[in-house]
Amino acid sequence: MEISIHNLKKYYGEKLVLDIEELKIKRGRITGLIGPNGSGKSTLLNIISGLDREFLGTVKYDGKLLDKNIYKKMTLVFQKPYLFRRKVYENIEYPLKVRGVNRDERRERVKNIMERLEIEGLKDKKGHLLSGGESQKVSLARALVFNPELLLLDEPTSNIDPESVKVMEREILRFNEETNGTVIIVTHNMEQSERLCHDIIHLER
Ligand SMILES: Nc1ncnc2c1ncn2[C@@H]1O[C@H](COP(=O)(O)OP(=O)(O)OP(=O)(O)O)[C@@H](O)[C@H]1O
């Protein structure tokens, strides 16, 4: 999915936190969003994801304004993910259920993504009882499982041990290569952006 932003302004009260005249995020690429604390990275992801609709200007997805259909094709992974008080398996299955995927295929796809992210051991744990890092891994699995056209990641590996970072980065790259899905990732880690990103956007103030 290609994103084009035109004359975007976002205010919190009197304070202007985003001011972007023109920005295109290309389809099928991994774009890094970097910049200091408070520069508006999460705010921009929230706007692109459709979570925050209080802004001036336009955001288009393959040339169209946000609608229900587009909304279903994308997902945002939060830095502090929210998981249901149900088993990890059910958390990951959920996006497939709401998209009407049948039971057998759901089982196959959930199993496959848990293997890829090496989290089979968490299958029966309750989502709300996971550690910060475990939640981030499960949350990435829940996003990847339905092959979104647009994957928005807000510091997805901030609580993750080095071995698991490798696994997550491998799966983000694999997702992009195999499905040609567009990825936008907020990261403070320069090495990570070099490992993953085709394009980089710097947000200043
Ligand atoms: N709900 C809110 N109400 C008022 N101000 C807000 C709100 N959310 C964010 N802000 C302000 O908007 C600015 C941008 O915040 P945002 O979280 O987008 O920055 P960020 O670049 O993601 O920062 P970080 O690197 O620390 O995660 C900050 O000055 C922040 O204080």
Q: Which atom of ligand 1 is nearest to the CA of 18?
A: 14
CATH number at residue 116: 3.40.50.300
Coil, helix or strand at residue 65: strand
Domain limits for position 107: 3-202
Coil, helix or strand at residue 124: coil
Check pocket membership of 12 for ligand 1, CB cut-off 6 A: yes
Top mutation candidate among 19, 20, 43 for ligand 1, by most atoms within 8 Å of CB: 43
**Predicted confidence (pLDDT) at residue 205 exceeds the cutoff of 80:** no
The alpha carbon of residue 34 and the mean position of all alpha carbons in its chain are separated, in whole angstroms, by 15
**Predicted confidence (pLDDT) at residue 79 exceeds the cutoff of 90:** no
pTM as predicted: 0.94
- Rounded distance between C-alpha atoms, residue 119 and residue 137, angstroms: 8
- Rounded distance between C-alpha atoms, residue 32 and residue 24, angstroms: 13
DSSP 87: B
Check pocket membership of 35 for ligand 1, CB cut-off 6 A: yes
More confident call, 40 vs 132: 40
The count of structural domains within the chain is 1
Check pocket membership of 41 for ligand 1, CB cut-off 6 A: yes
Q: Whose CA is nearest to atom 5 of ligand 1?
A: 12
Using pLDDT thresholds of 50, 70 and 90, give the confidence band for residue 73.
very high
Check pocket membership of 40 for ligand 1, CB cut-off 6 A: yes
Check pocket membership of 42 for ligand 1, CB cut-off 6 A: yes
Listed residue (62, 61, 49, 73) closest to 154, CA to CA: 49
**Predicted confidence (pLDDT) at residue 121 exceeds the cutoff of 80:** yes
Check pocket membership of 17 for ligand 1, CB cut-off 6 A: yes
Tell me if 26 sits within 8 A of 199, measured CB to CB. yes
